[in-house]
Amino acid sequence: MARVARLPVLLQVLGLEIINALRRNWRAPEASKVVLTRSPGATSAHAAIHIVPMTSLAALIYCNYHTLYIGPYFTRAPQNDAIFLAIIQVAAKAQELLCVASLAAVLLQVLRRELLGDGIPIGLLGSGIWFSQISSLWSPDFLGAARWSMTSWRRAQLYALIVLAGAIAAVIGPAAAVLLLPRYQDIPAGSTTYYLDGTAIDFWPDTVYGSSEPQLCTYSNSTMYAICPSGG
């Protein structure tokens, strides 16, 4: 066991190991590999991959639960709404990838624990990679490990975790899109009473005479004028 620096572990977890490689002295001897760490900072850095998707999903659920109203359009220029919708779709895909990466990190950690113990079937060795493909749940490699998982409660938990992670990975994409894309909703507003000066026959006459309409409504192109009965 050894203490390790917090930043290199964080870069490794986020897939930026190339930065650690560029920071090393290439002529110096290679450092010893650390098997176990006891640093709280390194432990927190390993959990960083879960913070972003969990925080963003919590914010999305909160906004949808409280019905956040942003107005009839995204901006004052409605013609830009298509651009914003495209950006939101890209953000939904990014959210899906972050959630799948978080699930993969959890599953790989469990697989490492099992490999240090009694081992796992070779069919489950790559489950940390192919679990997001829903077709893998009925593959021969996965179904063949069912008998192995029935021998102990710990193995059954691993098998159930792979099933659960695959199910979440299959639905997290549509769920993120539904949460991110805004919906048009009718909001009940206040009402008032107003009066019209006239009788019902004045506003809805039974007979309409041509003399009561403007002269241009008698022309052959009267359908072009909105003030005429035939307008439109």
Query: Is 119 found in the same domain as 54?
Result: yes
The H or E element that residue 82 is part of is helix 81-115
Structure tokens at 162: 């792979």
Q: Is the pLDDT of residue 67 over 80?
A: no
Q: Rounded mean pLDDT of 40-52?
A: 75
Q: How confident is the prediction for the chain on average, in pLDDT?
A: 77
Share of the chain above pLDDT 70, in %: 82
The secondary structure of 99-152 as a DSSP string is HHHHHHHHHHHHHHHHHTTT---GGGTTHHHHTTSGGGGGSHHHHHTHHHHTT-
Residue 203: which domain range?
Answer: 192-232
Whether residue 200 sits in one domain with residue 118:
no
Q: Terminus-to-terminus CA distance in the chain, angstroms? A: 83
Query: Once rounded to an integer, what is the mean pLDDT over residues 59-81?
Result: 77
30 band by pLDDT with thresholds 50, 70 and 90: low
What is the pTM for the complete model shown?
0.57
The per-residue pLDDT for 13 is 65
Whether residue 164 is found in the same domain as residue 203: no
- The neighbouring-strand residues paired with 2 are 37
Whether residue 35 is found in the same domain as residue 86:
no
> Does residue 69 sit in the same domain as residue 151?
yes
Q: 164: helix, coil or strand?
A: helix
Domain boundary among 155, 180, 205: 180
> How many domains does the chain divide into?
3
pLDDT tens digits for 156-195?
Answer: 888 888 888 888 888 888 888 888 877 777 777 778 888 8
Domain for residue 185, yes or no? no
216 and 130 both lie in a single domain: no
* Residue 57 in domain: yes
Q: Are residues 65 and 38 in the same domain?
A: no
Half-sphere exposure of 189 (CA within 13 A, CB side): 4
Cross-strand pairs, 37: 2
Pick 195 or 211 by higher pLDDT.
Answer: 195
Residues 157 and 71 in one domain: yes
Token pair, residue 196, equals 């019209």
Kindly report which listed range (22-36, 48-62, 121-135) carries the lowest average pLDDT score.
22-36
On whether both 167 and 63 belong to a single domain, the answer is: yes
209 & 118 share domain: no
78 CB burial (10 A radius; 0-12, 13-18, 19+) = exposed
Of the ranges 26-30, 33-37, 83-87, the best mean pLDDT one: 83-87
Final residue of a domain: which of 140, 159, 180? 180
* Least reliable range by pLDDT among 31-45, 48-62, 205-219: 31-45
User: Residue 215 has what pLDDT?
Assistant: 79
Query: Does residue 1 surpass a pLDDT of 50?
Result: no
Residue 186 lies in a domain: no
Residue 16 lies in a domain: yes
Question: How far apart (Å, rounded) are the C-alpha atoms in residues 117 and 135?
Answer: 28
Examine the domain organization and report whether 23 and 104 are in the same domain: no
Query: Residue 2 has what pLDDT?
Result: 42
